Amino acid sequence: MKKSYITAILLVVFLLTGCWDQRLLKDVRLLLGVGIDYQKGNKVIMSSVVTRNLEKKPPELISTTGSTPRDARINLQRKLIYVPDASKNRIVMLSEALARKGSILEVLDVFYRDPRSALNAKIAIVKGKAKDFLETQSKDNPDLTAFLDRQIVTSEAATIVPDVDLQSIRTGILDPGEDIMMPYMGLNKSNVEILGGALFHGQKLTGTLTPGETTVALLLANQKNKQTTLTLPIEKGVQMTVNILQSKRKLTIQPTGQSLKVSIDLQMNAEAIEMPFGDFSDQKTVAKFNHTLSEEINKEADKVIKKLQAANCDVLGIGRQLIAHHSSYWNQIDWNKEYPKINITSSTTINLTRNGILE
Amino acid sequence: MGTRQADKISRLELFFFILQSVIGIGILSLPYTVFSESKTDAWIAVLLAGIAITINMMINWKLSSHFPSANLFDFLPTLLGKYLSKAVSVGYIVYFLAVAYLVLLLFGDIITRWVLPRTPVLAIYFLLVSTSIYLARESLSVITRFCVIVSIFLPVLLILMLVPLNSSHFIYIFPIGQTGLEAIFKGAKETSFSIIGYELLLVIYPFVKGNHTQIRKVILLSSAFLTLFYTFLVFNCVIFFSSEELEQIPEPILYMLKSFSFRVIERIDLLFLSIWIVTVLTTFVNYLFAASIGIKQLFHQNDHRHFTLAAGFLCLLCAEFTGDRFLVQKISDFLAKASFLFVAGIPLLLLLIIYMKKLRWHGR
Amino acid sequence: MIDFGSQRDLEDYIKATLTTDDLLTKHLTIDQLNLTIYYIDTLTDIDKLNQQILSPLLQEKGENLLNTIHSIASKQMDSADQAVKYLLRGSSVISLEEQDGQLSLWNLDTGSAFHRSISEPVGEKIIEGGHEGLVERLSINLHLIRKKITNKDLIVRYYRLGTHTDTEVALVYIQSLVDQDVLDEVTERLANIETDSVISQAVLEEIIEDNPLSLFPMMLNTERVDRVAANLAEGRFAILIDGLASVIILPVTFFSLYQSPDDYNARWINGSFIRLIRIAGFLIATTLPAFYISVISFHFELIPNELITSIHESVQHIPYPPLIEAFIMELTIELLREAGIRLHTAIGQSIGIVGGLVIGDAVVRAGLVSNIMIIVVALTAISSFVVPSNELRLSVRILRFPLMVLSSIFGLLGITFGFTILLIYLCKLESFGKPFFYPVSPLRLRKLKDSLARSSFTFKRYPKG
């Protein structure tokens, strides 16, 4: 009986003193998205999309300034009745200017260090200011501010932007043999749009690609997602849209002495999804289509590779291959200096295997 | 000591007892520990450590098999004489308690950092210790039964670990062997220090049903399972994180799970950690049990219940008055070295004594 | 033979012992033999007495009379106290003064056999299969069981328990199937019972079970004949008490409490599915409110992105912490259940409607409880009704409260520890030397398929133990 008294007393003690970590859902304002801008004087402006409590309205956009993102979040708390909580954050948007400063991991540290933060949140680079971007969105379409990440997820599936999140960009940035590409968004008049891919060298934004180029870059990097469409000129004034069904990439790397030869062999099966005319029942015509399409993609690929090298962004993971298979060569060179200079050739073949329900 | 038939445990139960003693809190940070020594060859280091562990287990088995109805604390006097054996017994008891204490410290640390930052760590310790005492005061058969049930969480972890494979980079492990033999051996050493728990075999051996060869089979099986299990986990972490990243993440397995979301439940790491506690608990219970059996036999008592209670609260008190995490790190390092003595050193020595005694006997 | 000199003395003695007014005596003199018939009017079937005793006796003479008594009496008794005992059980007692002045006492069974007609037990309905239920008469219950199991090994052992009530109790088992150790244990415990009265099975259960403070029922109570027979055929024991329609079955395991005869009436895949649903019901009934509390007040990052805003909205206006919110609703449900259980079916239904619909809706509108909490509590209540055993249903309902408290202090960690303690407890429990959580602990993989699921009869060997 003595034992049960002790248990009862302990239980009461726990009950009276307990709930140290209790953090009721009703007492927080959920942070659904964050935009971070650079401000002169080494400060950041954080624009936070927070849910409203006690009234049924779309989330609210509040901007605060601080010397670090954490500091800005603490300042945000001063403006709210309830505690802002970042554990359900879905998207982080960094302004172009901030990304060009070349220390995004420092800015993002608050998201990595906190055990509660969502590591699977999406990340994107914004053309211009993230604050303006979010403000326009919340003014025109307040209901959608909470769903900006959906736009990125949809584009990922269509291979328009790379499939990355907070966790995976850190892996990429900290890997010496690889660089990352992030979704690039911006305003077109007052519309929120995907503008393509933002190229990084290490932690620094060094260039951008258009949506079409991003798709090709992703194909070259063997990161084809569920759906991939390309629109390419097939004759003068005629465009054909194809959906890539299958893509196989082969990366051959030959270090010969001091120079490095890289060739990318890309083979794809495609389905024609828009073609105003043309006879798919004729083998010769199809062969001609295949040839033209391959050439067009090759041209595009060369352009993309040039841009990637200019941005010193090894999104293809050539450095990683060197580490893995040619480590002696890798140890000799400084990859950061070497990469823009190396010779990368690509050969792409496209093969139309389906043509919809019309001939 | 007399062993009732009802207290005997089956070989299946022995298998899971060893598994649950070994697998515990250490697994969450093992990939980090090994990686800091052997880099991307960490998984080779773990495989190598597996061999060392198997050898250690065999030493423990061989030693125990000379005394089919006596455990460590029973046969020490026959080998070492009255006074020395007392000292070694006390040594083992202190070692068991120290391991339990370390498990408690690490548990409190991880829970505080990952789940309950503001809850006083004493409350967390108390939760683990009181639950453990409740189990550890029972007979061995109840403890092993519990170990068997909760082993269902091991496949859960394995299945969860299959998910990240999809977004992993197998290329990270290449080139194999880049860090050199020295680094690999260092990592292997580190690993074999942190994979302990099978030495409890010395205490429970007489309770196991079956003959020596059958038991050896079970032990070999468990060591094979442990090696593969640990290798798989470490391998998984190596291919998921890039090197520099992994060096900054002390609990890579949790961190990996944190970045995944499932349709029904987001943040699988929290759920996983909450379940994994049970596996940590069994490690703590098994050591607590072994220690209290030791104390019981040291004082020639019949019941270990009171000693379990005392030992549990001793761990709790020590843990509460332990300083910062740097001290914890030091204790952990020291204990790793000490474990080598108790897991492999002393058993090997005892085995040699047995052989020498036998030789002398034959000589006569 | 009898220590009474004359009929007169005997009658005085019996009347002194049984001072009750319903003790009647009849004096007869047949062929110079003095007969006295004693019986308790309220226990005796008068027709039986007339037809089976008085009319045969009145037709006989001399030597034949003794023979007749021999043939109709069930037992000759050797003391007046014994006679009193039998009178109390409904027998008639004849005392006969033979010509040599010797007295002899005879016991004749003339007990009235009023009993309820055999009907399906209300608390344990099944969809198809046998619908026989037990009644309050021991002999009829034994008859029903014997009819189901015509096995020479079916053993019945009688005990008389209770110094005040002197209740007849029967232990029934199939000799060839039971575990001898358990049999010894059970017979020993039954033989050593010292109690005043046995008016409910709980009294008996508490006396003979290993751990009277146990949270879980260590015995199964059932009113179904087929369930008793099935359990006997699996090597268990049944204890029947005269005057009670429910039978105690022991030793039980946790999983046998989750079985219902319905499982064996359905096809094996369906039966297994239903059984797995029940086990899931156990998990839901014990942990769901606790899980919800811990999610809503500790770890709301677990909620999927698509759900978080709607859940956030629904909890915003609730003034109480989730634990109190849950307690309010759980209490309401328990009250409703308790209110409805003893009322007439028609009123019971309207209580269900008032409680379930009106209160549920009003409570959400009033902003006392969030609608998600209503869903959680309702789901929990439904899951707890799934358990086929009545006592286990009660334990399951109680179990969730400590878990809820723990989860409100430590979140998921608290649930894990609470559940761990429960598991340890289950591993520790033993019922008559048999582990309660068998076959999960100790683990027997082969038996598992027939306790968690219900494997096909084709795969099944003859069960034992």
Please enumerate in sequence order all residues whose Cβ is within 8 A of that of C453, keeping only pairs 6 or more positions apart, or say none.
Answer: C272, C275, C276
Q: Is the pLDDT of residue C447 over 80?
A: no
- Of the candidates C437, C430, C434, C463, the residue with the CA atom closest to the CA atom of residue C452: C437
**pLDDT by residue (tens digit) across C135-185?**
888 888 999 999 888 888 899 999 888 888 888 899 999 999 888 888 988
Residue A113 lies in a domain: yes
Give the number of residues written for chain C: 465
pLDDT-based confidence at residue C461 (cuts at 50, 70, 90) = low
Please enumerate in sequence order all residues whose Cβ is within 8 A of that of A131, keeping only pairs 6 or more positions apart, or say none.
Answer: A35, A37, A45, A47, A63, A95
Q: List chains touching B (3+ CB pairs under 8 A).
A: A, C
- Of the candidates C27, C143, C137, C16, the residue with the CA atom closest to the CA atom of residue C81: C16
CATH code, residues B5-355: 1.20.1740.10
Quickly list DSSP for A150-189: HHHHHHHHTTSS----HHHHHHHHH-TT---EEEEEEEET
CB contacts of A23 in chain C (<8 Å) are 297-298, 300
Do the Cβ atoms of B134 and C421 come within 8 Å? yes
Query: Per the omega criterion (within 30 degrees of 0), is the bond before C442 cis?
Result: yes
Segment A197-215 mean pLDDT: 90
Kindly give the pairing relationship between strand C33-40 and strand C91-97: antiparallel
Give the C-alpha separation, A28 to C297, whole Å. Answer: 11
What single DSSP character describes residue B208? B
Q: How far apart are the first and last CA of chain C?
A: 48
Of A185, A209, A233, which one is at a domain's C-terminal end?
Answer: A209
Of A165, A194, A209, which one is at a domain's C-terminal end?
Answer: A209
Please enumerate in sequence order all residues whose Cβ is within 8 A of that of C290, keeping only pairs 6 or more positions apart, or say none.
Answer: C400, C403, C404, C406, C407, C414, C415, C418
Domain ranges, ordered by start, for chain B: 5-355
The reported pLDDT for the residue numbered B173 is: 83
Of A14, A116, A146, the CB nearest to C309: A146
Give the C-alpha separation, C363 to C114, whole Å. Answer: 51
**pLDDT by residue (tens digit) across C307-366?**
888 888 888 888 888 888 898 888 888 888 888 777 777 777 777 777 777 888 888 888
pLDDT-based confidence at residue C45 (cuts at 50, 70, 90) = confident
Query: Do A62 and A175 fall into the same domain?
Result: yes
In A, minimum Cα distance to B260 occurs at A120
The reported pLDDT for the residue numbered B224 is: 93
In B, minimum Cα distance to A109 occurs at B248
The SS3 of residue A256 is strand
Query: Do A205 and A252 fall into the same domain?
Result: no
Residue A260 lies in a domain: yes
Considering only residues A12 and B145, tell me which one the structure prediction assigns the higher pLDDT.
Answer: B145
How many percent of chain A have pLDDT more than 70?
96
CATH code of residue A246: 3.30.300.210
Residue A10 lies in a domain: no
Q: Is the pLDDT of residue C1 over 70?
A: no
Of A209, A234, A264, which one is at a domain's C-terminal end?
Answer: A209
Domain that holds residue A177: 23-209
Let me know: does B222 contact B148? Beta carbons within 8 Å.
Answer: no
Query: Do A205 and A70 fall into the same domain?
Result: yes
> C300 vs chain B: nearest CA distance in angstroms?
9
Q: B281 and chain C: CB distance < 8 Å anywhere?
A: yes
Total structural domains within chain A = 2
Token pair 């470490």: residue: B234
* Residue C168 amino acid letter: E
Q: C417 and chain B: CB distance < 8 Å anywhere?
A: yes
Query: Do A223 and A339 fall into the same domain?
Result: yes
Query: Do A74 and A202 fall into the same domain?
Result: yes
Do the Cβ atoms of B245 and A174 come within 8 Å? yes
pLDDT in tens, chain B (364 residues): 334 445 788 888 899 999 999 998 888 888 898 888 888 888 888 998 999 899 989 998 988 888 888 888 888 888 888 888 889 999 999 999 999 999 999 999 999 989 888 888 888 999 899 999 999 988 888 999 999 989 888 888 888 888 888 888 888 888 787 778 888 888 888 888 788 888 898 888 888 888 888 899 999 999 999 999 999 999 999 888 888 888 888 899 998 888 887 777 788 888 888 888 999 999 999 999 999 999 998 888 888 888 999 999 999 999 888 877 788 888 888 888 888 888 888 989 988 988 888 887 776 5
Query: Do A180 and A247 fall into the same domain?
Result: no
Segment A52-58 mean pLDDT: 78
Q: List chains touching A (3+ CB pairs under 8 A).
A: B, C
Residue A16 lies in a domain: no
Give the C-alpha separation, C259 to C236, whole Å. Answer: 14
Of C301, C317, C321, the CB nearest to A116: C301
Query: Do A147 and A225 fall into the same domain?
Result: no
The reported pLDDT for the residue numbered A198 is: 92
In B, minimum Cα distance to A164 occurs at B167
Residue A345 lies in a domain: yes
Give the C-alpha separation, B31 to B234, whole Å. Answer: 5
Residue A11 lies in a domain: no
- Give the C-alpha distances (Å, rounded to integers) separating C244 from A245, B255, C194: 74, 61, 20
The reported pLDDT for the residue numbered C463 is: 47
Considering only residues C463 and A117, tell me which one the structure prediction assigns the higher pLDDT.
Answer: A117
The reported pLDDT for the residue numbered B2 is: 39
